[in-house]
């Protein structure tokens, strides 16, 4: 797999170069670029399989690279020193990133994943979702891994997540999807988003889609599609506090 490094900082390029050469098998480092313009020229000439892309660069940030390609012929691994919110935006947009300062294991993991997903060509949709998520301090879209790639769903369209072993049913206002991801992963992904609450080991609900909360004969929720969801006994007290804090 041919690799291109794009970063305006010589030290950052040097660290990543040494890790790739020393610790990543099956990788050929073909070139380095310090700007988007130089990266475009290198990509057109050298045809890399993987591009390590710094986001915060002078003149044009890393996202500008995708303005030059209708269908990027390479996998992208972003390198960033962004805030906690931005990292959550990366996660829900299903984009691979390495948080600076970079580590050997992070680079190895990202390379392995890039090799596995080679050829899916979903980066344009992923970057569009990421830009949307970064534009405001509230997540807008989430990327769902399906058998044929990724599907991006508006957060506002999500009703709830329902566990099904190693799978999760993602229930939206328009359709239902079965995703090869445990509900725990969605819970961790959205743990800092106060629109979602894990009311039961099997259910993660969008609280903005709750139409009724009943405390009779065991607590239950009714969501907008009329589905009744249980609130686990051990979750009830905390959920009451949570709902009380946002009620008027």
Structural domains of the chain, with CATH: 2-134 (3.40.50.2300), 157-246 (2.40.50.1020)
Average pLDDT, the chain: 90
CB distance 77 to 51 below 8 Å: yes
Question: In the predicted model, what is the mean pLDDT of residues 58-81?
Answer: 89
CB distance 89 to 134 below 8 Å: yes
Task: Give the model's pLDDT for residue 120.
Answer: 67
pLDDT tens digits for range 78-121: 998 877 778 888 888 888 889 888 899 999 999 998 888 777 66
Structure tokens at 127: 């970057």
Percent of the chain with pLDDT over 70: 97
Task: Give the model's pLDDT for residue 247.
Answer: 55
Q: What strands, in cross-sheet order, belong to the sheet with 50-54?
A: 28-33, 2-6, 50-54, 75-80, 97-99
pLDDT tier, 248 (very low <50, low <70, confident <90, very high otherwise) = very low
Q: Residues 6 or more apart from 51 whose CB is under 8 A from it?
A: 3, 4, 5, 6, 39, 43, 65, 74, 75, 76, 77
pLDDT tens digits for range 4-35: 999 999 999 999 999 999 999 889 999 999 99
Task: Give the model's pLDDT for residue 26.
Answer: 87
Cα angle: 240, vertex 241, 247; to 5 degrees: 85
């Amino acid at each position: 797999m041919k690799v291109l490094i794009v970063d305006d900082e010589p030290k950052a390029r040097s660290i990543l170069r040494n890790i790739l050469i020393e610790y990543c098998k099956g990788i050929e480092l073909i070139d380095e670029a310090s700007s988007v313009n130089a990266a475009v020229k290198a990509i057109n000439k050298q045809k890399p399989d993987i591009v390590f892309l710094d986001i915060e660069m002078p003149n044009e940030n890393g996202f500008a690279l995708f303005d030059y390609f209708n269908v990027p012929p390479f996998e992208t691994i972003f390198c960033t020193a962004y805030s906690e919110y931005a990292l959550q935006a990366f996660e829900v947009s299903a984009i691979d990133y390495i948080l600076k300062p970079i580590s050997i294991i992070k680079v190895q993991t990202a390379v392995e994943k890039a090799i596995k997903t080679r050829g899916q060509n979903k980066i344009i949709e992923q970057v569009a979702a990421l830009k949307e998520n970064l534009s405001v301090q509230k997540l807008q879209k989430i990327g769902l891994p399906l058998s044929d790639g990724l599907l991006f769903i508006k957060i506002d369209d999500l009703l709830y997540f329902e566990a099904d072993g190693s799978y999760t049913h993602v229930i939206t206002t328009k359709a239902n999807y079965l995703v090869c991801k445990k509900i725990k992963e969605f819970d961790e992904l959205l743990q800092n988003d106060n629109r979602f609450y894990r009311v039961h080991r099997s259910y993660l609900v969008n609280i903005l889609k709750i139409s009724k909360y009943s405390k009779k004969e065991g607590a239950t929720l009714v969501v907008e599609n009329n589905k009744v969801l249980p609130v686990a006994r051990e979750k009830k007290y905390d959920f009451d506090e949570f709902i009380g804090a946002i009620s008027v």
